[in-house]
């Protein structure tokens, strides 16, 4: 799969930049985020063995469960962490969750704050879902899981698609000129 990933596109355009974070801290944060994502994914699929969940992850999982209960969401397997490719625009990405009946797209975060680039990231996922499944996404949400539950960031800016496409153009321009690793 040689199509660029959403996160790499946003990094190349400068919307995501963790260069100021020490590598050891970044490595731990990524490992923790991956553990939270895996726990929520397995829980949604009904295959999670809760005895295998690391204690620090448990409150984040409980926050996810509370969010789903509060919003009355139950995801089908094809709506969970499914890698999609846009043939139209030439990129790929893996939306965390989408709920087809309500047209809701969700990006799960376990970070200490919600990054502004999440709005653009969710738009790229909306584009992927709408192209691949021919369904309409009506609502994009960032769901920040915390030790105390969850926080929601709704994304409604109509210019988010233009911003993502501009980032994609910057990525492709840099790639053509050998400016990307």
User: Sheet holding 97-99: strands in order across?
Assistant: 97-99, 104-109, 139-146, 149-155
Q: What is the per-residue pLDDT for 177? A: 96
DSSP letter assigned to residue 96 = S
- DSSP string spanning 24-82? HHHHHHHHHHHHHHHHHHHHHHT---GGGS-GGGHHHHHHHHHHHHHHT----GGGBS-
Quote the pLDDT of residue 20: 84
Do the bridges between strand 104-109 and strand 139-146 make them parallel or antiparallel, or are there none, so unpaired?
Answer: parallel
pLDDT (average), residues 147-172: 97
Q: What is the pLDDT of residue 19?
A: 81
d(CA 163, CA 181): 23
Is 167's pLDDT higher than 70?
A: yes
Flag whether pLDDT at 131 surpasses 70: yes
- pLDDT per residue over 38-61, tens digit each? 999 999 999 999 999 999 999 999
Residue 90 gets the label, from left (phi > 0), alpha (psi -120 to 50) or beta, of left
81, 94 contact by CB (below 8 A): yes
Nearest to 96, CA basis, from 121, 66, 117, 113? 121
pLDDT at 90: 98
User: What does the pLDDT read at residue 18?
Assistant: 85
Q: Given phi > 0 = left and psi -120 to 50 = alpha, else beta, which region is 14?
A: left
Check pLDDT > 80 for residue 180.
yes
CATH 3.90.320.10 corresponds to the domain 19-176? yes
Query: What per-residue confidence (pLDDT) applies to 117?
Result: 97
Percent of the chain past pLDDT 70, that is, above it, reads 99
What was the pLDDT predicted at 171?
Answer: 97
In the chain, where are the structural domains located? 19-176
85-130: per-residue pLDDT in tens? 999 999 999 999 999 999 999 999 999 889 999 999 999 999 999 9
Q: What is the pLDDT of residue 1?
A: 52
């Amino acid at each position: 799969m040689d199509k660029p990933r959403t996160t790499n596109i946003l990094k190349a355009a400068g919307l995501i930049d963790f260069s100021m974070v020490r590598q050891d801290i970044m490595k731990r944060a990524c490992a923790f985020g991956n553990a939270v994502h895996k726990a929520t994914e397995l829980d949604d699929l009904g295959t999670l063995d809760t005895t295998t969940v690391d204690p620090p992850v448990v409150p984040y999982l409980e926050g996810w469960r509370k969010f789903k209960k509060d919003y009355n969401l139950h995801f089908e397997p094809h709506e969970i962490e499914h890698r999609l490719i846009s043939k139209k625009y030439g990129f790929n990405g893996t939306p965390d969750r989408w709920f087809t009946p309500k047209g809701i797209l969700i990006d799960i975060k376990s970070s200490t704050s919600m990054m502004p680039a999440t709005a653009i990231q969710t738009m790229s996922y909306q584009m992927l879902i709408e192209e691949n499944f021919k369904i309409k996404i009506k609502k994009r949400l960032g769901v920040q899981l915390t030790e105390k539950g969850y926080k929601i960031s709704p994304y409604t800016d109509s210019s988010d698609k233009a911003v993502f496409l501009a980032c994609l153009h910057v990525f492709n321009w840099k790639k053509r000129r050998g400016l990307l690793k």
